[in-house]
Structure 1
Amino acid sequence: MRNRTAANDARNALIQDIDETNVPYGMVALWCLGQASFIVKGGSTTIYIDPFTIEDALVESRHGLRRAYPSAVRPEDITNADYCLITHDHVDHLDPDTIQAMAAQARETLFFAPACCREMMLGRGVSPDRLHIADTGKEYSGQAIIKPIAAAHEELSIDQDGFHEYVGYIIRLNGVTLYHAGDTLIYEGLQARLREEEVDLGLLPINGRDFYRGERGIVGNMNYREAAELANGAGFKMTVPMHYDLFAGNAERPGYFVDYVYDHFPSLPIHVMARGERFIYAAAGAVKS
């Protein structure tokens, strides 16, 4: 009972930390929930990206997966989301239990997801008026500017209506441009596109792929070398590696990414997120218009 109470207190403290964090213009605050799950706050706007918060026992019983560590928040804790962005339909990115709780509790939350995720999102209680299709040909303006960008996991996949099934997001929030890659390989034109976007803060997967994971049905991503090369080639001001720590069978050591950057791009700023850490990124020269 004491351990459960302590865990609940820590989860409540994280939500409180998000709510109470003051993020001046030209900055964003970042919290990592593991895998590709992030919470981003700029000004008074809070964005959840691929929130995967289901408990280990449920993940294992329903999906045969075992988390390396517990979620920092529970689905029922999330009441402060202005936006929820989903990159694709794999359970560690589109967590049905988390979406259902968010749809019920955070009545003002706007959801973005690829078209192939629409029925799942509606089935979990997201109302049609709050659900936007992540169309890579469009830009959405509101409290943040959100631009879906195609992802190749491991291929660029398009549904029968012409929508990409895997996406990342360019987010312009509070004077900062952030790129969350989702699950992707590097494909032709991606680096040039990202350079045009002038990304301040890039979140890139580093877990890679190989024959044996492919044999187990695990779809891969860029590896740590490719992530470092992309970050440098695209001119990211800061890079945070992701998607390496939550499942033992699909993991990578972030130190390999750090070492590669140190050896090849020693002037490239990077940051490895600690569990439960609040990381504040400040964009150089951001000026409020």
Structure 2
Amino acid sequence: MSQVAKVTREEWILNTFPEWGTWLNEEIEQEVVAEGTVSMWWLGCTGIWLKSHEGTNILCDLWCGTGKRSHGNGQMKKGHQMMRMSGVQNMQPNLRTQPFVIDPFAIKEVDALVVTHIHSDHLDINTAAAVHQNCPEAKFIGPQEVVNTWLSWGIPQEKTVVVRPGDQVTLKSIKIVALEAFDRTALITCPDETQLLAGKMPQEMDDIAVNYLFETSGGNIYHAGDSHYSNKFADHGNRYQVDVCLGAFGENPRGITDKLTSVDILRMAESLKAKVVIPVHYDIWSNFMADPQEIVSLWKMKKARLNYEFKPFVWQVGGKYTYPTDQDKLAFNFYRGFADVFVTDNDVPFTSFL
């Protein structure tokens, strides 16, 4: 029997996905975080893995799903938040544009899965299942409706922790502070497609979304989830030390406001009195993709006049960022390899080949 006759779709999928295999899992496990620093890896969308010097591991908002996979009937799902927001009827062309850089079912030694809000590209059943199966001591931390979803999936209640703004949870060496979220798209997310929201009081934001401050011995990381810009960021900046802030950046389509703009990202960082601002989320959806160099260009244009005391950082999915070691860098690049070039004799027919 020929080899090609034996290859099946299922075999292809198992041999190909996740595209990075366990490469990043292994890197995170092997990483020894230096004293006085904190390391984190971008997993796509707003997914972040945080690792402290003391070896505490926090997984936040890891999403292992996909966007559109078929044109279907070409219509938006009735009651979808984007439909409610703008009255749009045609399907949102939100295709996933990033590979899977981590294998959720190879995850080990996670102390907590922390989720910012109810949307499925942050609250993921695959991640929940993997953490539940592989990390029996891990806590599941989120606002009330996030926890309700976990419970409906079968996560034991004793593993869950409901947080509202002002709550604090300490996990080994990291203190997690829940803060107000400003995700107005979440407010018009309703699972009942027949329910009309016009003229009614909105949901309670604190039940469906929170922002987080992760306080570590190496620095404090502020995760804004899918928050839009809010003047309240300045209050958070007054009350807490923020070293690095992460915000959901994107190019909003016509008639839609769902992501922070480049200007919003700079305003958020200034309001939080952060030292570093890192845009995320712009990588994942084909219809919201944006160029983070726009943020850098605006920062360069305005920093002297507005006396900015922070720097932007352009990350890459799967890459590591260590604070404060990397605080003066403006962009990430993967290790290019070949550090051992010519440590042994090369083998070519003639030197002229070089």
TM-score in terms of structure 2 length: 0.70
Correspondence for 1:37: 47
Contact 1:241 1:272 in 2 (8 A): yes
The one of 296, 304, 319 equivalent to 1:258 is 296
Contact 2:19 2:99 in 1 (8 A): no
The one of 184, 187, 191 equivalent to 1:154 is 184
Q: Deviations over 1:112-141 (max 9, x none)?
A: 111012221012232111111121131122
Q: Deviations over 1:78-120 (max 9, x none)?
A: 2231111101111111012221222122111111111012221
SS in 2 for 1:123: helix
SS in 2 for 1:145: strand
Structure 2 Cα separation of the partners of residues 89 and 107 of structure 1: 23
Q: What 5-or-longer segments of structure 2 have no aligned partner?
A: 1-10, 78-92, 188-201, 327-354
Contact 1:205 1:243 in 2 (8 A): yes
Structure 2 Cα separation of the partners of residues 155 and 3 of structure 1: 34
SS in 1 for 2:263: helix
Q: Deviations over 1:189-217 (max 9, x none)?
A: 22122233110111112216454346xxx
Structure 2 Cα separation of the partners of residues 283 and 276 of structure 1: 18
Q: Deviations over 1:256-282 (max 9, x none)?
A: 111111111265322111122122112
Q: Greater CA radius of gyration, 1 or 2?
A: 2
1:145, CA displacement in angstroms? 0.7
Number of residue pairs the alignment of both structures matches: 276
Structure 1 Cα separation of the partners of residues 12 and 253 of structure 2: 42
* 1:130 matched to 2:172: no
SS in 1 for 2:321: strand
SS in 1 for 2:23: helix
The AA in structure 1 aligned to 2:46 is A
The one of 226, 244, 250 equivalent to 2:264 is 226
Structure 2 Cα separation of the partners of residues 9 and 156 of structure 1: 31
Structure 1 Cα separation of the partners of residues 42 and 249 of structure 2: 15
Further displaced range: 77-86 or 240-249: 77-86
TM-score in terms of structure 1 length: 0.85
Contact 2:25 2:103 in 1 (8 A): no
The AA in structure 2 aligned to 1:146 is I
Contact 2:19 2:100 in 1 (8 A): no
SS in 2 for 1:122: helix
* 1:82 matched to 2:136: no
Q: Percent identity?
A: 21
The AA in structure 1 aligned to 2:315 is M
Structure 1 Cα separation of the partners of residues 98 and 19 of structure 2: 16
Correspondence for 1:47: 58
Structure 2 Cα separation of the partners of residues 198 and 273 of structure 1: 22
Change (3 A) 1:273 1:169: same
Contact 2:265 2:277 in 1 (8 A): no
1:152-231 → structure 2 map (5 Å cutoff) = 152-154=182-184, 157=187, 159=203, 163-207=206-250, 209=252, 211-213=254-256, 220-231=258-269
The AA in structure 2 aligned to 1:60 is R
Q: What 5-or-longer segments of structure 1 have no aligned partner?
A: 215-219, 285-289
Contact 1:175 1:283 in 2 (8 A): no
Give the structure with the larger helix fraction. 1
Correspondence for 2:319: 277
Structure 1 Cα separation of the partners of residues 12 and 225 of structure 2: 37
